[in-house]
Structure 1
Amino acid sequence: MAFSIIKPGLLDTIQDLGRHGSGRWGVSPGGAMDGYAAEVANLLVGNDRQEAVIEIHFPGPQILFEQNTLIAITGADFSPTVNDEVIPRWQPVVVRKNTVLHFPSLVQGGRCYLSVHGGYCLKKWLNSYSTNLKATAGGWDGLALKKGDELPFNENTIYFAGLLKEESNFETLPWRVNTENIYQFPHEIGFLPGHEFGGLSDASKTAFLENNFMIHPSSDRMGYQLKGAPLSLDRPVDLVSSAVSFGTVQLLPNGQLIVLMADHQTTGGYPRIAHVVSAHLPKLAQLRPSDTVQFKLMDLALAEKMLVSRKKELHILQRSCMDHLNERVC
C-alpha cells in the first residue's frame, strides 16, 4: 500500500476532470469542483492531466505515507503540514516514508487537491475515476474516504529517497505555479446571458448585475444556493426540461438563484438566466458558504479568449514540469 487514512476529513473523495459523455443516461459529469487546481496538481508531479486526485474539504484528513512519495497540493489553503512542518502548495514535494500529512487550519478557499506521482491505482467507471456519491460508483468504491482506507499508487521507477536530505521529513522541489491571475478578485464571477435572461423584469436585471448574493450554508457539490433580493420574470413561462451544465444559473420559483456545480443534474426546467464563464469556474469553486458573489457581464469573445489562454498556459506548464522532473531524477 502507498498511504492510509489515519483520520478522515469532512469530505475526501477521488476526482478527476469529469465523466463526460454519459449525460444521455442521466449520469452527472461530476469531477473536481476546481478543475484547474486538480489539473495543475497532476502536472506538477509529472502525471497525465486526467489522472485521479483527492478532493479535500476542511477539516481535512490525516494521511500516513507508507513509502517515499512525490506529491503536490493545490487549491485552498488548509495550512498543510508533514509531521507538523509546513509544506508549500502549488509546488511538488517529496515526502518521506512514515510521515503524516495533516491540514490543521483553514486560511482561505473551499477545497484543495492532493496528487501523487504515478496516480492512484483505481478502476474507472464510465471512463472516469471520479466518485459519484449518489450512484455509489467510481473513485474509492463510490464512497468518501474513511479511517483505515489504504490507497495504492501506480508503480513508478523513480528513487525518491535520493531526493531527500538526511533526516528531513520532506524536500520541496524548486518549481511552482503562479496562480495570481487565476483567483484574482475572487468574488467577481463573469457570466454570459442565459436563454431566459431577456425574460427578467428590468428591475431584476438591474438587481442581478448590481447586487451581491450570499452562498447559502446548504450549498454543496451539486449546486450553490444563493441568497439575495428576489428576482422575477416579466411574465410566467412554462419550460420543457433542457440541458444544463456546470455554471448554469437558474431562477427558482421563490425568486432566489442556484448555480449548478460539478455534480449537477443533466437537465433542468427552471429558467436559465446566466452561465458562468469557464475561466471563472475555479474561482467559484473556491468560495465557501456565507461568501458573496457579484456577477459581471462578459462578452463571448472575451470568455473564449480567457479559456484559450488558460489552456495554452497549462500546456506550457505540462512541458516545463516534465523537463524539470526529468532533470532532477536523472
Structure 2
Amino acid sequence: MSISIIKPGILDTIQDSGRPGYADWGINPGGPMDTYAATLANLLAGSEKNAAVVEVHFPAPQILFRKQSLIALTGGDFQPTLNDIPLPLCQPVVVKENTILHFPSYRSGARCYLAIEGGFATDKWLGSRTTNLNAGATGLTGRKLAKNDELSCGPGKKLSANLRAETDAAILPWRADTANCYNNVHEISCVPGNEWGLLDWESKKCWEETNFIIHPSSDRMGYQLKNEPLKMSNKFQMVSTGVSFGTIQLLPNGQLVVLMADHQTTGGYPRIAHVVSAHLPKLAQLRPSDCIKFGMVKMEEAEKLYQSQIHDLNLLQESCMTRLNEYLCR
C-alpha cells in the first residue's frame, strides 16, 4: 500500500478524467471538479495526465505515506505540511516513508488535488476509477475515503539516489505557474444557451450587472445561486434535453443553478448559458458565499481560451518530462 487515511476529511474522493460516453444510460462523466488542477498535479508527479488523484475538500484528511513517493499538490491552498514541514503547491515533492500529510488551515480555493507517481490504482467501472457517489460505484467501493482506508499506486519510475531526501520532504526545484488559469477568479465567461433569447430584457440586464452569490447548499452536482429572480418573456414548457458540466439553468423560482461535475444527464429547465470550458477550473475553486460575475463571449473566443489552456498544459507536460528524467533513473 502507498497511503493510509489516518483521519478522513469532509469529502475526499478518487477522481480521474471520468467516464464519458454513457449519458444515454443515465451515467454522467463525473471526474474532478477542477480538471486543470488534477491534470497539473499528475504532470508534476510524473504520472499520465488522466491518472487517478485524490480530490480533497476542507476540512481535509491526514494521510500517511507508507513508502517513499513522488507527489504533487495543486488547486486550493489548505496550508499543507508533511511532518510539520510546509509543502508548496504546484511543485513536485519526494516524501519519505512513514511521514504524515496534514492540511491544518484554510487559505484559498475550494478543492485541493493530491497526485502520486503512477496514479492511485483502484478498481475501474466503465473504464474509469472516478468515484460516482450517486451510483455507489468505483473509486473505493463508490464512497468517500474513510479512516483506515489504504490506497495503492500504479507502477512508476524508480527514484534515483539523488532524490532520497535528507529530510522528510525533498522539494524539487521547479514549479508550475497557474496565473493564466485562475486570474480574475470571480469573472466567469459563458456562451449563450438555447433559451437565452427567451429571457426578458430586464433579466438580461440583470445577468450583465449582477454579482451572483453561491448558495451554501451547492455541491459537486451543482452550484445554486442567489440572485434577483430572472424571468422568461413568455411562459412555456420544455422537453427534457441533454445537459453538461457548466450548463446554467433557470429554475421556476427565477434562480439559477450551474451544473457541475456530478450533474444529471438531462434537464427540463431553460438553459440560458454555458460556462466556457476554460473557466470551469476557476468556477470549481469558488466556495459558498463567493460571488460570480458572468460575462458573455462568442463561441470563437471560448474555443480560443480553451485551446490556449490545452497548449499551456501540453508545454508543461513536455517540460515536466524533461526535468523529471534528469532526476529519475532512466
TM-score, length-scaled by structure 2: 0.98
Q: 1:256-271 to 2 correspondence within 5 Å?
A: 256-271=255-270
Who is 1:119 aligned against?
A: 119
Offset at 1:39?
0.5
Q: How many residues in Structure 1 have an aligned counterpart in Structure 2?
A: 329
Please give the alpha-carbon distance, in whole angstroms, between the structure 2 residues aligned to 1:165 and 1:110: 31
Offset at 1:159?
2.8
Please tell me whether the aligned partners of residues 68 and 160 of structure 1 are also in contact (alpha carbons under 8 angstroms): no
Q: CA separation of 1:87/1:296 partners in 2, compared to 1, >3 Å: closer, same or farther?
A: same
Please give the alpha-carbon distance, in whole angstroms, between the structure 1 residues aligned to 2:182 and 2:49: 20
Offset at 1:164?
2.9
Who is 2:40 aligned against?
A: 40
Segments of structure 2 that go 5 or more residues without pairing to the other structure are none
Please tell me whether the aligned partners of residues 96 and 165 of structure 2 are also in contact (alpha carbons under 8 angstroms): no
Who is 1:25 aligned against?
A: 25
Who is 2:289 aligned against?
A: 290
Regions of 4+ moved over 2 Å: 159-162
SS in 2 for 1:214: strand
Letter in 1 for 2:208: L
Offset at 1:200?
0.4
Please give the alpha-carbon distance, in whole angstroms, between the structure 1 residues aligned to 2:105 and 2:140: 26
Residue 232 (str. 1) matches residue 231 (str. 2) = yes
Please tell me whether the aligned partners of residues 96 and 161 of structure 1 are also in contact (alpha carbons under 8 angstroms): no
SS in 2 for 1:181: helix
Who is 1:178 aligned against?
A: 177
Letter in 2 for 1:186: V
Residue 312 (str. 1) matches residue 314 (str. 2) = no
Identity of aligned residues (%): 58
Please tell me whether the aligned partners of residues 5 and 64 of structure 1 are also in contact (alpha carbons under 8 angstroms): yes
Offset at 1:204?
0.3
Who is 2:200 aligned against?
A: 201
Please give the alpha-carbon distance, in whole angstroms, between the structure 2 residues aligned to 1:160 and 1:13: 31
Who is 1:75 aligned against?
A: 75
Who is 1:135 aligned against?
A: 135
Please give the alpha-carbon distance, in whole angstroms, between the structure 2 residues aligned to 1:17 and 1:156: 19
Offset at 1:84?
1.0
Please give the alpha-carbon distance, in whole angstroms, between the structure 1 residues aligned to 2:111 and 2:221: 14
SS in 2 for 1:132: coil
Segments of structure 1 that go 5 or more residues without pairing to the other structure are none
Who is 1:97 aligned against?
A: 97
Please tell me whether the aligned partners of residues 68 and 161 of structure 1 are also in contact (alpha carbons under 8 angstroms): no
Letter in 2 for 1:48: E
Letter in 1 for 2:264: Q
Please give the alpha-carbon distance, in whole angstroms, between the structure 1 residues aligned to 2:115 and 2:64: 14
Letter in 1 for 2:18: G
Who is 1:51 aligned against?
A: 51
Please tell me whether the aligned partners of residues 69 and 160 of structure 1 are also in contact (alpha carbons under 8 angstroms): no
Please give the alpha-carbon distance, in whole angstroms, between the structure 1 residues aligned to 2:197 and 2:155: 54
| Backbone CA RMSD of aligned residues | 1.0
Q: 1:161-172 to 2 correspondence within 5 Å?
A: 162-166=162-166, 168-172=167-171
